[in-house]
Structure 1
Amino acid sequence: MTISPDNVVYWQYGPFQLNATLVFTWVVMALLTIGSWLITRRLSTGTELSRWQNLLEVVVTGIRDQIEDVSHQRAGRYLPFIGTLFLFIIISNLLNMVPGFSPPTGSLSTTTALALCVFVAVPLYGIAREGPLEYLRHYIRPTPLMLPFNLIGEISRTVALAVRLYGNIMSGTVIVGILLSLTPFFFPVVMQLLGLITGVIQAYIFAVLAMVYIASATSARRQTENAEAAEETDEDRSSD
């Protein structure tokens, strides 16, 4: 039983190797790219929409609504990044039902790469919204003594993102393999269905946590603006 797709090597030349993680990662990216092109090449603004366009609009609207609910901000700037994360993870996990497919999210290298994308995106979004100096002040609030703890927190939540996704996908594969060796008919089917549900939930959790981290990095200015607006309102009321 193969736990990680990293261990499945299709081709190797010296230190370079092509393993299942790389192959199936490119498969998922190709499916997302080709699928999005096929669906969006004939978009309609009329009353009659194709089933695929309806599905696309439902998915995009759902992701947009979740981003706005979590961040209390407009979803436009975050939708491409969070949406890509969610779609890549959920398609990878759903394709686990296909015989012979090894989800790249079952590899620690893939989940680490996804977590590092979030790790880089958080300060980028924060700096873009607040400016570099204002964002860096977050790490020394309420006192400069909090700097090492805030830095450790940034690193630990990145590790937690990677390990959580990897652990859930890998554990599901291991359990199915064990049950398949013991009872090769009924229980593996049930576990595959449970694994399917777990894969969807994990994609949702990863995307939501990524948005929570980004929202926390971009909330300071919004809170300041709200406070200033409230002060202006109070002044207007007092003047009246």
Structure 2
Amino acid sequence: MTLSPDEIITVTLWGVPINATLLFTWIVMAVLTGASMLITRNLRPDVPPNRWRTALEVVVQGIQNQIAEIAQGPSRHLLSFVGTLFLFVAGSNLLLVIPGFRPPTSSLSTTTALALSVLVAVPLFGISRRGVGGYLQSYLRPSPVMLPFNIIAEASRGISLAIRLYGNIMSGAVIAAILLSVAPFFFPVVMDLLGLLTGMIQAYIFAILATVYISSATAPQTLSSPQKDAQ
């Protein structure tokens, strides 16, 4: 039983084998890009919004509201990055309804790449908001002795993100394979519905955790003083 799309070779281009992970990743990116271009092609004040544009605005506004609640401060700069993560993970899992489609998020290489993007984004956003010195000082708090532990904690975030997303998606694939071997005619519909629900939940959790990590790196550090404590 083949569970990971990394093991499936779909095509060969110029002698280079292209596995299902790469192929389906390109499909997801093409679908998201094409859908956004079609929906926003008449994005002008003089053109009344249609139902697709309204739906897209609802999704974007919902993502923005969730980010604002977590960031507790300026959050507009997080919308593009976190929103892209959410839409990619959600789109990968929603396309499960297409027969033969294997979500790229069921590959450890994809989830690791997503986690690494968050791991790189954390210091980039932190430096852009607080400066190099202000961000690096966060690794020395509450004491310089904590420097190696803070570095380990930062690295463990990316590992936990990758394993969490991969494990949840793969567990669904394993359960589906077992149920399909027991009752191949009844369980496909049920598992498709369960996969859609699980995929949306995982996309939401992944985006929320990415927002939490970035917000903690960009939040200003407030130092208590005797005057403030006296007040």
TM-score, normalised via structure 2 length:
0.92
Helix, strand or coil at the partner of 1:131: helix
Looking at structure 1, the residues matched to 29 and 14 of structure 2 have their Cα atoms a distance apart, in angstroms, of: 27
1:198 aligns with 2:198: yes
Match of 1:50?
Answer: 50
Report the alpha carbon displacement of residue 186 of structure 1 after superposing the two structures with TM: 2.1
Which consecutive residues of structure 2, in runs of 5 or more, have no partner in the other structure?
none
Deviations for 1:184-203, whole angstroms, at most 9, x for unmatched residues? 12233222211211100000
How is 1:29-178 mapped onto 2 (pairs within 5 angstroms)?
Answer: 29-45=29-45, 48-178=48-178
Aligned pairs, how many? 228
Which consecutive residues of structure 1, in runs of 5 or more, have no partner in the other structure?
235-240
Looking at structure 2, the residues matched to 212 and 73 of structure 1 have their Cα atoms a distance apart, in angstroms, of: 12
More deviation, 177-186/13-22: 13-22
Counterpart code for 2:181: S
Looking at structure 2, the residues matched to 18 and 160 of structure 1 have their Cα atoms a distance apart, in angstroms, of: 28
Counterpart code for 2:45: T
Looking at structure 1, the residues matched to 14 and 55 of structure 2 have their Cα atoms a distance apart, in angstroms, of: 45
Report the alpha carbon displacement of residue 49 of structure 1 after superposing the two structures with TM: 1.9
Bigger radius of gyration, 1 or 2? 1
RMSD of Structure 2 on Structure 1 (CA): 2.1
Q: Do the aligned partners of residues 48 and 15 (structure 1) sit closer, same or farther apart at CA in structure 2, a change above 3 Å counting?
A: closer
Looking at structure 2, the residues matched to 48 and 28 of structure 1 have their Cα atoms a distance apart, in angstroms, of: 29
Looking at structure 2, the residues matched to 188 and 35 of structure 1 have their Cα atoms a distance apart, in angstroms, of: 27
Counterpart code for 1:4: S
Looking at structure 1, the residues matched to 16 and 125 of structure 2 have their Cα atoms a distance apart, in angstroms, of: 35
Counterpart code for 1:85: L
Match of 1:238?
Answer: none
TM-score, normalised via structure 1 length:
0.89
Looking at structure 2, the residues matched to 11 and 49 of structure 1 have their Cα atoms a distance apart, in angstroms, of: 41
Counterpart code for 1:9: I
Deviations for 1:27-78, whole angstroms, at most 9, x for unmatched residues? 0101111111111111243694201110111011001000000101222211
Looking at structure 1, the residues matched to 148 and 14 of structure 2 have their Cα atoms a distance apart, in angstroms, of: 42
Report the alpha carbon displacement of residue 157 of structure 1 after superposing the two structures with TM: 1.1
Looking at structure 2, the residues matched to 115 and 44 of structure 1 have their Cα atoms a distance apart, in angstroms, of: 36
More deviation, 202-211/93-102: 93-102
More deviation, 9-18/116-125: 9-18
Q: Do the aligned partners of residues 43 and 188 (structure 1) sit closer, same or farther apart at CA in structure 2, a change above 3 Å counting?
A: same
Helix, strand or coil at the partner of 1:31: helix
Looking at structure 2, the residues matched to 15 and 167 of structure 1 have their Cα atoms a distance apart, in angstroms, of: 32
Helix, strand or coil at the partner of 2:220: helix
Looking at structure 2, the residues matched to 91 and 176 of structure 1 have their Cα atoms a distance apart, in angstroms, of: 19
Report the alpha carbon displacement of residue 110 of structure 1 after superposing the two structures with TM: 0.3
Report the alpha carbon displacement of residue 12 of structure 1 after superposing the two structures with TM: 4.4
More deviation, 12-21/119-128: 12-21
Looking at structure 1, the residues matched to 12 and 41 of structure 2 have their Cα atoms a distance apart, in angstroms, of: 38
Report the alpha carbon displacement of residue 125 of structure 1 after superposing the two structures with TM: 0.4
More deviation, 39-48/170-179: 39-48
Report the alpha carbon displacement of residue 96 of structure 1 after superposing the two structures with TM: 1.2
Looking at structure 1, the residues matched to 45 and 173 of structure 2 have their Cα atoms a distance apart, in angstroms, of: 43
Counterpart code for 1:112: T
